[in-house]
Amino acid sequence: MYEEMVTARYYEERLQEEYLEGKQPAFDISAGPIPGELHLAAGHEASAAGVCAHLRDDDTVTAPHRPHHVAIAKGVDLDRMTAEIFGRRTGLCKGKGGHMHLFDPDVNFACSGIIAEGCPPAVGAALAAKKRGTDSVAVAFLGEGAIDQGGFLESLNLAAVHDLPVVFVVEDNDWAISMPKGRVTDVESGAQRAEGFDMPGVRVDYNDAVAVYEAAADAVGRARAGNGPTLLEVQVHRHMGHFMGDAEGYRPKDEVDRLKRLDPIDRLADDLRAEGVDDETLDDLRTEAERRVDDAIEFAKEQPEPDPEEAYEDVFSNPPASGPTAATDGGAASDEPTADDMGGER
């Protein structure tokens, strides 16, 4: 868990440097080696490491727009993930997804920039596991800003009524962009949402990786044993702005300094030292993590960009043909809407 957490932290420090290249002074969001938005998760690492420590490759994880720490903890290939973030052809989605739309079928990981979007697919994966008779589980990570979304609430209901092996993990950093939690919801903790669906709801306070690990052992174990879903809320801290370039005029100036004193990585290092792990071992883990990250960034920067002609490839699983009954890629006649039916829009 410590290794994953320091990997995620250093990974984002390096991304931050690369991201700013060429964007200043006017903050041109399309310039530089990483075009588009970038949401960093420094301060969130304990939640992903503590939960994913219980998962296997055949378990499914979905994450929201702030996904790197979750992807790393789930074991997503670091080289191909980085190439994706840099928009390169050898990236996980051939450079078309970017940092918010990473998809790795090898370890069943996906994320999306649409808030609460990961909940229904996680429920679907859990339903598939149940129907196939496997003991795979699914975990949907989301922010506390998503706990009033229909997609989340409907997913809780479906998971509960079908007793599905799914765990919902709410990362509560108290902010949804510039909106503090207390102004948009009346519940103290997102875990209280579980009561309305008759499933266990648990909150882990203190941004503590070991506490998350223990709570997740129960939740994942319950799902794997066929005993249904759990809603887990984890307190995390957002050390950064909502996205890179956020001036953060809305948050108290001293908040980040206060939160950094509660850093989950420092806390876990202290726990490990208390268990007898020496500083040299921790330093070695950190050095190895930094080497992996530096290699992945080096790899990504050397990769080719996609050709513009590839823009429409892999967009539809069954690309619209020229007539209503024309043969498609699959060779079968199709009644699917064509480009003409859709007003020529693709």
Ligand X SMILES: Cc1ncc(C[n+]2csc(CCOP(=O)(O)OP(=O)(O)O)c2C)c(N)n1
- Cα–Cα distances in Å, from 111 out to 122, 141, 343? 11, 9, 30
Residue 259 is encoded by which pair of tokens?
């939160």
Q: Which of residues 53-72 bind ligand X (CB under 6 A)?
A: 65-66
Residue 289 interacting with ligand X (CB under 6 A) = no
Residue 145 interacting with Mg ion (CB under 5 A) = yes
Q: Which is nearer to ligand X, 65 or 222 (CB)?
A: 65
CB of 240 to ligand X, least distance (A): 10
Site string for ligand X, 129-158 (x = CB under 6 A): --------------xxxx------------
Site string for ligand X, 239-258 (x = CB under 6 A): ---x----------------
Residue 50: exposure state from Cβ atoms within 10 A (0-12, 13-18, ≥19): buried
Residue in this structure with the two tokens 């909940």, named with its chain if needed: 119
Q: Are 105 and 80 in contact (CB under 8 A)?
A: no
Residue 143 interacting with Mg ion (CB under 5 A) = yes
CB of 213 to ligand X, least distance (A): 21
CB of 119 to ligand X, least distance (A): 11
Q: Which is nearer to Mg ion, 176 or 194 (CB)?
A: 176
- Cα–Cα distances in Å, from 132 out to 93, 124, 125, 135, 216? 28, 12, 10, 9, 24
What is the distance between the alpha carbons of residues 116 and 103, in angstroms, rounded to a whole number? 16
Which partner in ligand X, Mg ion, none is near 95 (CB below 5 to 8 A by kind)?
none
Terminal Cα distance for the chain, rounded = 44
Which partner in ligand X, Mg ion, none is near 52 (CB below 5 to 8 A by kind)?
none
Residue 177 interacting with ligand X (CB under 6 A) = yes
Residue 47 interacting with Mg ion (CB under 5 A) = no
CA 241 to chain centre: 17
Which partner in ligand X, Mg ion, none is near 146 (CB below 5 to 8 A by kind)?
ligand X
Cα torsion angle, 213, 218, 221, 222, sign = negative
Q: What is the CA radius of gyration of the chain?
A: 21
Partners of 166 in the β-ladder? 138
CB of 176 to Mg ion, least distance (A): 5
Residue in this structure with the two tokens 């801290």, named with its chain if needed: 237
Residue 225 interacting with ligand X (CB under 6 A) = no
The one segment of 88-96, 110-118, 197-205, 244-252 that binds ligand X by CB under 6 A: 110-118
What is the distance between the alpha carbons of residues 45 and 133, in angstroms, rounded to a whole number? 32
Q: Binder to ligand X among 175, 235, 237, 269 (CB under 6 A)? A: 175
Q: Which of residues 160-189 bind Mg ion (CB under 5 A)?
A: 173, 175-176
Q: Are 140 and 166 in contact (CB under 8 A)?
A: yes
Q: Name the site residues for ligand X (rule: CB under 6 A).
A: 65-66, 113-115, 143-146, 173, 175-177, 242
Binding site for Mg ion (CB under 5 A): 143-145, 173, 175-176
